[in-house]
Structure 1
């Protein structure tokens, strides 16, 4: 699932860190390790059991909502003028994913406030705004209000935190900067907290007040690091079953107040970069993937390829030139990839499958169907147009698919990333047709087993094949 202002929620990854960092036991920066919990993890005992096909149906439903919100957006450069290039070690956080959890939405547990309170947040690289289930000036009812039936959602008690600060509704930050985050004009007194009504495309919503708070994260060596004055919503009214198992949302998109921007703009070690690697979505839970802020390893850097990185709204975008299959460039109109002519391509870790605008989708599916004709095609009530009986399936019989970027770089996803398993003995083409005109989107299954580095200083996306294992 996916999250975003007037958009849905979903996926993958997570990071935390900030420009104000404290160390409890050492001077050097060490890796931060946080477990990433998938929505279908057995650790979330209240989640209903779902078959693989049912899970994919649910994920696609939310993918479609997210994809529809990209229509009409245009690519622009990141224009990040951050020159803070001080030395320091990268922060590395292994992320748990795989077969035992399924694919899609992930959670991370963080500690918020002083003294700290533990919360489980949905991680979304497509959300500009972070918020938590929270009560402010509520007295003894803090733990009793606003929960969804059957939910174990925890509630942050703002009154008990000495580091929680509200943002006045009379401030320029509330009236101007937070307008895009759906702040309300209601301001009974100059010191009243700035309020918001954050709506999602699927009908979900979060209402509350803007605040600033401290976030505490454990370090690999047993110490702790604190992120000071993080802008975070205190939501006392939450609508939508999607939030039943979450205590809030951690927003990581390209926005001034996202966690990603806080790290890359302010830290002495990130140098304008963050990176992640997603293991095979069918991996077992003992296999980790990771997210990094700072320099990638020298070994990885030697194998990296780079392409232009831009923005489609707050989403990250790439400049695709075309797609080839088996070494043959497909006949796809150039405007499909042109951000200025109704097309373009988002690079989205918050979308599971890969969406292709209709003029690209049809030739891609047609070319791949030819190599799959030997297998029995299945008619299924599933989110995919083309599925087949995969008994005896040989990946080497499928021609290689390649995304060609406008600056000459080539992304060659693994065959399992576009001929994907959706159930035992069943595989499907991992593409969904997107409305044209409209943007395409490279989803997280297509990205698996690659290391991806977002360099916001140089406006480029680096990538290299990787096992993603720590």
Structure 2
């Protein structure tokens, strides 16, 4: 694990997750003592670096796998209910309870930075991808859940003089996997401490241009001395309370340098509860909200961000990444699809418009209104949801078409694998997936075609020796494209042009470099007011 300045340490992750600190970059990465920190305004356009990380695996034992996928289904269902509730509130004319933003942003083309990410499917925080961000001055590494359908970026926090958090176990205990116990794991946490960061500035309730527009604000009066507080309570069980502040992140860029990214809105959570808070240090939002990490960071990096979700079966020596600015993997080659981003009104999520679904080249008869984003919210891209879910009649039409092609090739599973409806005896190896799994294509606005991986269409080894068609039925909109079907693709969001680009990629062919150094040399000619960049 990377050594940090003084008593700061890098974030500890869920079981089996380790950070690889390997040299190398688009340019040679120098000795850490020679690293120079600059402000984002001093960076040239087009540089990029990578923070590598390994990925955990799905539990091995049959019972652990069953509980693993049951937990995924429970998490997804709770998350979907929360999304449906948000849509109901928006339709009832209560946008003040939501993050009311839409449309695209703009920014000055500058550079590229990337953050490390890994799949955390073997923790009780199932199906969540984690990304490491260095917040504060001096910089401290935090492990945060990546969420494209949320509007509140927060870290578990300890304020000076504030009562201690509820006890979440021995901070030095080793993380427990599902293989060991089907209980929330004991995870070593990294606490954000504003008093130890010289770049932290809290917001006040009296700040009408900022605090009043933040999501989940809990200010009682516009008091100048009262901190701008929030209380986010979601139907998936997550409950967090704290105060808003402005903070700086330190990011690695090419040429062996680091850059300060100021002006980020960060929640300092003094209370967290629920099943999704114990396996990470906080939440990093990429949603459609003015205060989301992606909106603020994107203004300094051409309004671009992208990510490539590593497949859960890729092995522990693989890594994936989150990128802000031009992604060399997208610039270097063609072969990508492009479609318009649908910015959901009064919601933090983003989606796309589906115009057709094909299975083995045959167009399925699905009423167009199922995909109408004005009626049902379209098709949302949600990294926090694992298994894609479809409304009727899309769910029934798609799964029946797949089952009719699979039934002659595979034997039906005798045991029921809740909550999957169509399951078969198959280990995912013989025959090869490409030989038996039907080809599914989603046609998007503009003609781009998304082809999910065969291992997402028919998920192998849901229980050892059993594979299941990888869709859940959804009772209320929107339709959800989960991270299982988003894996092994690069997804690039262009917030300036309002475009989404995507292409197939294994997410494992990129160069490894060291993460931001905790004690770099200052820029010999620093900008005296970096927050104005």
Normalising by the smaller structure, the TM-score range is 0.7 to 0.9
Query: Does 2:150 align with 1:133?
Result: no
For residues 23-422 of structure 1, the aligned pairs below 5 Å read 30-35=47-52, 51-71=64-84, 72=87, 79-82=103-106, 84-86=107-109, 88-93=110-115, 95-97=117-119, 104-138=127-161, 144-150=164-170, 151=186, 152-173=188-209, 176-178=212-214, 181-187=215-221, 189-219=223-253, 222-265=256-299, 267=300, 270-297=301-328, 300-312=332-344, 313-342=347-376, 344-374=378-408, 375-378=410-413, 379-390=415-426, 392-395=430-433, 396-421=435-460, 422=462
What is the TM-score when the length of structure 1 is the normalising length?
A: 0.82
Distance in 2, Cα, partners of 1:320 & 1:451: 19
Paired residue for 2:8? none
Report deviation, 1:36. Answer: 5.1
Which of 448, 453, 456 in structure 1 is aligned with 2:487?
A: 448
1:53-112 CA distance string (max 9 Å, x none): 322221221111222233347999953252x353x4433445444998897113333333
Quote the Cα distance in structure 1 between the aligned partners of 2:483 and 2:76.
11
Shift of residue 225 of structure 1?
2.0
Alignment check: 8 A CA contact 1:39 1:106 kept = no
In structure 2, relative to structure 1, the CA distance for the partners of 1:294 and 1:98 (3 Å cut) is: same
Conserved 8 A contact 1:99-1:285: no
Hey, which of these two has a bigger chunk of strand by percent? 1
- Report the 3-state secondary structure (helix = DSSP H, G, I; strand = E; otherwise coil) of the residue aligned with 2:384: coil
TM-score by length of 2: 0.73
Give distance in 2, aligned partners of 1:207 and 1:343. 29
- Cα distance, 1:29 vs. partner? 6.7
Q: Secondary structure at the match of 1:63?
A: helix
CA contact (8 A) 1:34 1:93 kept: yes
| Number of equivalenced pairs | 435
Structure 1 CA distance, aligned partners of 2:196 and 2:151? 27
CA contact (8 A) 1:288 1:468 kept: yes
Whether the aligned pair in 2 keeps the contact of 1:197 and 1:205 (CA below 8 Å) is yes
| Partners of 1:308 and 1:134 in 2: CA distance | 38
> Which stretch of structure 1 is more off in the superposition, 385-394 or 314-323?
385-394
Q: In 1, Cα distance between the equivalents of 2:193 and 2:121?
A: 36
1:39–1:235 CA distance, 2 compared to 1 (3 A):
farther
- Runs of 5+ in structure 1 lacking a partner? 1-19, 43-47
> Could you say what the CA RMSD is over the residues aligned between the two structures, in angstroms?
3.3
CA spacing shift, 1:168–1:341, aligned 2, 3 Å = closer
What is the alpha-carbon distance in structure 2 between the residues aligned to residue 138 and residue 397 of structure 1? 61
Deviation at residue 369 of structure 1 after TM alignment: 0.9
CA contact (8 A) 1:99 1:283 kept: no
Q: 1:228: how far off?
A: 1.7
State the distance in 2 between where 1:301 and 1:31 align: 16
338-347 vs 438-447, greater mean Cα deviation: 338-347
What is the Cα deviation at residue 215 of structure 1? 2.1
